[in-house]
Each structure stands twice: as C-alpha cells, then as structure tokens.
Chains A and B, each alone.
Chain A
Amino acid sequence: MRTIRIGSGAGYSGDRIEPAVELAEKGDIQYLVFECLGERTVALAQQARMKNPQSGYDPLLEERMRAVLPVCAAKGIKIVTNMGAANPEAAARKTAAIAKSMGLRGLTIAAVIGDDVLDACKANDLPIMEFEGAVSGFGNRLLSANAYLGAAPIAEALKGGADVVITGRASDPALFLAPMIDAFGWAMNDWNLLGKGTVAGHLLECAGQITGGYFADPGFKDVAGLARLGFPIGEVGEDGSLVVTKVAGSGGAITAQTCKEQLLYEVHDPRQYLQPDVVADFSQVTVEEIGPDRVRVRGGRGTRRPDTLKVSVGYIDSYIGEGQISYAGPGAVARGRLALDIVRERLQLTCVQTSELRFDLIGVDSLHGGALSARNSEPHEVRVRVAGRTDNLREAVRIGNEVETLYTNGPAAGGGATKSARDVVGVASVLLPRELVNPSVRYVEA
C-alpha cells in the first residue's frame, strides 16, 4: 500500500522555526505543512493590506521560507501553508523572490485565492451565528470576510506542479487533506476517506500539541525535552490509515494520551466535525501505541459535506485599556484589594467612559474568579490588573493611567506598573452558500 509522510511545521503564526527544519532534514517527509493563521489574523492582515497593497501576509513568512526552502527544494518536499493570510498572491511573489535570492531555481509557487468573500457577505446580508444581528449591522466597522476553503484548490495546485502552495483562509485540516488527495487521488465524495484524512489533519494541525506540548503536568504527565520539542509526522496510507510519529531523538513524546487530548481539542460534537469537504465523525476513533513515539489511529469516518461554508467576519469591536502593578510581602493581598478599590473609585470620579470593567488580583483570582480560587495561605506576591472596554483609544489610555498613578497615590510599596491600550478586532461567523465561493489558483515561477 502506498504511504506518504506529512510533517507539521507550525501550529500557530509565532511557532518555533527549527522543528520544521528538523522535519525537512531528518523526517523523511514528502509534504511540510505550516498552519499559521489564527481566527482574527486575516482581519488584522486585511488592515495591513489596506495600508500597503504589497503586504497582508504572515510577518514570519520570510524567516520560515528562508529556513526550510533550501532543504525542501533539494529533497523535493512540497510545502503547503496558509501564511498568505489576506494576500496569498503577494506571499507567493515574495516566496519566489526569496527562492531566487537563495539561488534556488525552477520552483513553482502557487497562490490559492477566492477566500475573500466580503462582497458576497455584504450583498446577502447574512445573519451572524454568535449573536443577534446581520453583517450590515457592522456598518463601516466591517473589515473582512473570509470563507474557510477546502482541500480541492490546494490539491489542484499540487497536481498543477506547485512546489509551494500558499493559501489565505482555509480549513486547517484541509491543508493536510490536500496532500492526501494529491498523492492518492481520493474522490471528493468519498466521505469516509475524507473523514479519515480530516482526523489526521486535525491531529497534526497544532504541531507540538500532539508531541507533548500543552500537555506536561509534573508528577502526573511528565514529558522530557520540551525545549527541543519535535513536531509531528503523519504516516498516511492510501486507505486513510494513520500512524502519528516524530523524528527519532527529538524532544517530547507521542503517546495514546497526547493523541486523545489533541483529538478532542476544539471539538464540540465529536460525531459532527464540520469541514468544507466533509462532516467528519471522530466518535469511533481508537488509538493504539505500536512503538516508541508511534501511535496508530483508526476509526475516522465521514458523511456528506455541508452545503454552506463558514465565513470569518472581522470587525472593529472596541478598545481595551489595561494596567497592572505588583504588591508583595505581608498584607500583599489586602494592599492589592485596596489598590483595586482605589482605581474603581478613580475611574468613576474622573468619568472614564467604559462599557465593561474587570478587576483581577493575579495570583489570587484572575483566571477563574473568587469562587474557584484556592483558599490557601496568602501568596507572597500579587499583581493587580484592571482592564476595561471603551469606545475609543483616548478613554482606553486613561484606565492604565489610573493604575500607574497608584505608585505615588496608592497603597504602600506597589511596583512594576505597566499599562497598555489597544484596539480590538472582533471575529464573528456567518454561513455562506458554497456556490457563492469560487476559489482559483495563480502560479508564480521562481
């Protein structure tokens, strides 16, 4: 049976770079996938593109490509990535330029376009999934609308001879499903095979999260070598069979436990994992350790794909201002609470306009509120945190200022004050009939 090995070179935009180089050099892989596009990254990238038409792609594109292009070109490893963000064509041109500058010739770089569906969303004024309202309600705060594309245009680019395929918004598992379709010629209506491929893609898409990252809990779940964590390789057979493994000698561990945790990561109903190409069913999946850092995963299934595509809509939501300051030693918690009370009163006295405020004592109750916080002995140090939502940046700045003035006006011995203010790009979802989305592929030769 034919088998391919797909490496997962990044689990988010800022991920470590050298594990991908390790995969390319020592992983015996034919495909290297970089998943780098967070929920609102496209909206932020769209803002950048509006300022400069040549930008709008992942800021780490150049660093990643420079690190892996030479070895991938030498070994014929094909790269698939969503680092195109809001501008896949510019990212493809940039990648071609990088290849030339490194003396790499004869490479074909493909850009998958067509995920930008802002016009279709405006024209159809689709309802928002997360709250009451429709796209028109955003008015001029609307920034972007990008459909989650499936594997077909990526597979088309690979079949068309691309050495590097760069997308914008695409479903994360589809980045992995496309190489399987390319290698094995799976039919786009073989729902069970597409379901199995989606299980593989879902397990691999967060890179280190299946090799022991986001997992260690000393004394309960120990993982060695997290500073040199190896990234995963999926060995996929043409029948959809899957073994998850990594480069021998790299840090981390692949066990039944790490695979189970990642299988359910960001999953709601495991029988219905909605994808552009298939509705995958994870409910019958089993995992089996068959060797050191080798886990066999079986039982993925699928049913017919949805008639709609999920679209991420980016919009300017609000502004957030924040300030922090620390207290330590005996009475630290009491001084921290006094500090919070002072800022609460100051924000009222000085009429700072907020729609939402939050007062935390980091070290005591910042993560889960008062009810769940341990009633242990007093911590040695606490950090006051005040955050508030405002309509404009000027008001947001005033929140952090009121925390900073605790230095000379607040409780004794406050230290390490910091403040920040930022605009908030929110993301909502709509469902768009798939016939309104028309992806296509553009090629650039290096």
Chain B
Amino acid sequence: MKLREIAHSRTGDKGNISNISVIAYRAENYRLLLAQVTSERVKAHFAGVVEGEVTRFELPNIAALNFVMAGALGGGVTRSLALDAHGKSLSSALLDLEIDEPLGDTSS
C-alpha cells in the first residue's frame, strides 16, 4: 500500500532546508512508520531533488516523524529557479512511498 493510506503530511521551508512531517492517522500505525519510513528511504525517494543529508526526528506522542532535508530547495526559497520554490508539493510526493502491510499476528 501507499504511505498515503496510513499517514498525512505537511512540508515547511527555511532557507535551503525543507522539512516534511509524516503523521500516522492511527497511533497503532506509528510503528510501521518507524520501521519503514527511514531517512535512507526518504533520501532515495527524493534522489535528484534533495542534495544534502536527511535527518529523522521521532515524535511518539503525536505518532509522527519529522524529516529535515538539507539542500532540498534549489539553493533556497528566495533565489530558486524552481516553479515551487518553497517545495510545498514535496509532502504529497512522499505519500507515494510504498509501505509493506504487516502480516497478521499468528502467534496465538
């Protein structure tokens, strides 16, 4: 399934850095986000868009992750040649990430 099925997202910008929140609709899916939406996968998903490091922050209280992506905005919001200089559309692109559905609990 797509990440969009279990999470919502918002992008923010500061200089040449973009941050994307990934928030589980249901708290029980937070562990899926933790396991599968890693900074490595996010970096790979945005290959060619994000030039710098991707750092992940965890917010278990609101079942959310926050990705901080350096070098993501074409040199910075104020000077970028890009149509979407703020990178506001990046959050929707991240929700296209493929998520493996967990197998049912068969231990009992």
Residues of A within 8 A of B (CB): 39-40, 130, 214-215, 217, 220-221, 257, 260-271, 282-287, 299, 317-318, 320, 356-358, 360, 362, 366-372, 385, 387-389, 424-429
Contact = CB atoms under 8 A, between A and B. Distances in A.
B8 A217 contact: yes
A283 B79 contact: no
Contact of B48 (A221, A260, A265, A370): A370
Which residue of A217, A286, A299, A368 has the most chain B CB atoms within 10 A of its CB atom?
A: A368
Given A264-B66, A270-B59, A317-B78, A367 B17 contact: no
Contacts of A357: 81
Contacts of B25: 257
Contacts of A266: 12-14, 19
A159 B35 CA distance: 51
22 contacts: A130-B76, A220-B4, A267-B12, A268-B66, A268-B68, A269-B68, A270-B57, A317-B78, A318-B79, A320-B81, A368-B89, A368-B90, A368-B93, A369-B48, A370-B48, A387-B81, A388-B81, A389-B81, A424-B78, A424-B79, A427-B15, A429-B15
B31 to A, nearest CB: 17
Contacts of B14: 266, 268
B10 A265 contact: yes
Given A264-B12, A362-B83, A367-B89, 17 more contacts: A39-B77, A215-B10, A257-B8, A264-B64, A266-B13, A266-B14, A268-B19, A270-B57, A270-B59, A283-B59, A317-B78, A367-B84, A372-B48, A388-B81, A389-B81, A425-B78, A427-B78
Interface of B: 4, 8-10, 12-17, 19, 21, 23, 25, 45-49, 57, 59, 61-62, 64, 66, 68, 76-79, 81-84, 89-90, 92-93, 96
A371 B59 contact: no
Contacts of A214: 10
B76 A260 contact: no
Given A260-B62, A368-B49, A424-B79, A267 B19 contact: yes
Nearest to B60: A283
Contact of A261 (B21, B47, B68, B84): B21
B15 A130 contact: yes
Contact of B62 (A287, A358, A368): A287
B85 to A, nearest CB: 10
Contacts of A270: 57, 59, 66
A189 to B, nearest CB: 26
Given A220-B8, A286-B62, A358 B82 contact: yes
B2 to A, nearest CB: 10
B83 A286 contact: no
Contacts of A387: 81
Contacts of A267: 12, 19, 66
Contacts of B9: 261
A367 B83 contact: yes
Contacts of A424: 78-79
A285 B59 CA distance: 9
Contacts of B93: 367-368, 372
Nearest to A373: B93
Contacts of A130: 15-16, 76
A371 B47 contact: yes
Contacts of A366: 83-84
Given A267-B12, A270-B66, A426 B48 contact: no
